Structure 1
Amino acid sequence: MRTFDRSMIQQLTCALAGSLMYASGALAQQTSPPQRPQPIVAWSAQPVQATAWIAPNKPHWKLSEVLAKHSGQRSWQEDIVSDRDFVARYISMAPGEKTKRQFFADDRVFWRVQSGRMRVSIDGQEPFDATPGFMVQVPYRTPYSIETLGSEPSLRFEVIGAQAVPLYPIDETPTPLEGKKYVKVSYTGRGAYDDINKPYLDFNKAVVEANGRGGPFVKDDKTFANMIRGPGKAPPPPTDLGHFHVGYSEFWLVLEGKIDYLIEGVPLFTAEPGDVVYAPQGRWHRASFGGNGMATRLAINPRPDGMHNFQPPEAH
């Protein structure tokens, strides 16, 4: 049997301690959150005259004002956003009203249920009921239909591509479009769901009740709808301008709580659930969590990895 003197035991103890320290260090490196890359300072073009809002776009659409405008109506639409990339509108459908089965050639469509209840039927999926807070999306070339359930209208905020026009399965009768004619065509392929892009998300259950962080709901090569969630706090100082985007505009749908906004040329204001806020390309803008509770905004833009031009540290 081999015997160990005191020096050998000390050597083994040191070796073991070193191994444990190395292993714990390696584990810490594996589990620590990724570090943000160091910012790079560069010159970026910004319009001398700030990009204007062109109707229907405006800094702040209040849902309360939209509802007041259509008081007493059960079926109506209100365009909220229209620009180079997207068209977004509020759509109210009366009880029992149902859309035709339709799809879009190259664009994903998504919406958020604001009130009421609807049955959503998407080819390849089991039909499901969507209630307030649900967010739904349909990939390109995938037929779908919506039907209002219950005794109250359903209201949704819907976003589609700017040039997207509906197509219809051959067994449907197309709804006429001014300046267009419908002809028979053939096509192949359709979009699909994946780990991020799923048929629906019950925001109230999956995020609010679970105290989740949010994250992307839609993410593809030309559409990004990202849930940004956090606790309310005091607004940053006015010297913090936020950032601006070089080549696209951005808008937000408030899902929960209060969001404070500072947009270049507009005094600080607060948006509430259902409100829509729009920042044109090139304008400094800043969003922060307001109020005392949790707040969530759905940030919508055409670039999942879009460039954010932040103020360099010396500018604050």
Structure 2
Amino acid sequence: MSSYKQLVLSAAAMAVVGIAVPAGAQFLGKGDAMPVTAQKVPEAYWSGKPTKMTPYVAPNKPHWKLSEILAAHRGKTDWVQPIVRNNEQDADYISLGVGKSTKRKMYADDRVVWIVQDGSMKVSIDGTEPFVATKGFMVNVPFRHFYSIETVGDKPSLRFEVRQAGSPPLYPLTETPDAFPGKTYVKVTGTPGPGKDRDTNPIYVDFWKQVANTDQPYNGKFVWDDHFTSNILRGKGQPIPPATNKGHFHVDWTEFWFVMEGKIGYQIEGVPYFEAEQGDVVAAIKGRWHRPSSAPDTPMSTRIPFNPRPVILHNFATD
């Protein structure tokens, strides 16, 4: 069967649009379910694709293994491992030692989000009651809201954090700003705070209690705005698709995923098929064919994709 025919038959199952959020997932809030649109019949068209594959430039690479990241920082409690750098988004793994706190800060025009991989942290966000986030919490800080993180418990907290590329944090006058390349901090007056008032996304999702509490697939959003999109894509294990199924590519954007649960199989153009485990991060550089799917030997698996635009165009192979 051609990839194009497979696309037509599986369109309703694609993790893009048109998937109803199952009952019991109301934690996303009224009006917060992934936007649902009428299904459209796929049509063929010409799309520009790089003549030469877009290269991975460090720190970007197809597969960051959590085990290797932890091994590289063994014996340390406070560290930052750059994972993703592109024109739109930056992502890091960040460890914060026991009893340590971040400085209060905010971002001017874009949210910052993170997924807790290990340990416990007290999260304080202006306008929100402080809460303790543990493994599996997905935290969203709206723009122009000061926030801080404090590690609580008896081991460092570890998080995977995604931000707007190159965006410098802003600090209250009670803090001394950390140095930021190419920026000089000056005292100003502004109007922080309106971000949450216009943000319908949840402040946090407790994945293990609110999503992974059933044996059913799930497709819903984590955060969604005009400059940041992240969904929760959960499915049962399935046979590895044939290599002739190249999947799709994105014209202008790099897509990357955090593996939240189980194992995800990936076929990325120019890279042999591999499987990523919980805590790993995978990236498909723009313009490269890629095809993620739940690995066959895992009961349930979940991936959290990150994209810089809502529903970036998926260009599927026609033969």
Query: TM-score normalized by structure 1?
Result: 0.86
Q: In the alignment, does 2:57 pair up with 1:54?
A: yes
Task: Tell which structure's C-alpha radius of gyration is larger.
Answer: 1
Shift of residue 196, structure 1, vs aligned partner: 5.2
2:127 to 120, 124, 127: 124
Query: TM-score normalized by structure 2?
Result: 0.85
Task: Give the secondary structure class of the aligned counterpart of 1:68.
Answer: helix
Task: Give the secondary structure class of the aligned counterpart of 2:149.
Answer: strand
The match for 1:311 is 317
Q: In the alignment, does 2:214 pair up with 1:206?
A: no
| 1:165–1:34 Cα change, 3 Å | closer
Q: Distance in 2 between matches of 1:129 and 1:34?
A: 36
Q: CA RMSD in A?
A: 1.5
* CA displacement 1:98-130 (0-9 Å, x = unmatched): 001100011100000000000000000000000
* CA displacement 1:46-99 (0-9 Å, x = unmatched): 001010101000010000000000011111110000001111000000000000
Task: Give the secondary structure class of the aligned counterpart of 2:160.
Answer: strand
> Which structure shows the bigger proportion of residues in helix conformation?
1
Q: Distance in 2 between matches of 1:196 and 1:270?
A: 34
Q: Distance in 1 between matches of 2:212 and 2:219?
A: 9
List alignment gaps of at least 5 residues for structure 1: 1-32
Name the % identity. Answer: 53
The match for 2:304 is 298
More deviation in 47-56 or 168-177? 168-177
Kept in 2, the 8 Å contact 1:196–1:216? The answer is no
Shift of residue 193, structure 1, vs aligned partner: 6.2
Q: In the alignment, does 2:229 pair up with 1:221?
A: no
Q: Report the number of matched residues.
A: 281
The match for 1:265 is 270
Kept in 1, the 8 Å contact 2:142–2:199? The answer is no
Kept in 2, the 8 Å contact 1:134–1:201? The answer is yes
Q: Distance in 1 between matches of 2:219 and 2:156?
A: 28
Q: Distance in 1 between matches of 2:261 and 2:311?
A: 25
Kept in 1, the 8 Å contact 2:105–2:171? The answer is yes
1:288 to 279, 287, 293: 293
1:78 to 78, 81, 92: 81
Kept in 1, the 8 Å contact 2:115–2:138? The answer is yes
Q: In the alignment, does 2:155 pair up with 1:149?
A: no
Instruction: List aligned pairs for 1:212-251, cutoff 5 A.
Output: 213-251=218-256
Q: Distance in 1 between matches of 2:198 and 2:278?
A: 28
The match for 1:43 is 46
Q: Distance in 2 between matches of 1:243 and 1:180?
A: 38
Q: Distance in 2 between matches of 1:136 and 1:53?
A: 28
> Whose RCO is larger (CA < 8 A, sep 6+)?
2
The match for 1:171 is 174
Q: Distance in 2 between matches of 1:180 and 1:308?
A: 37
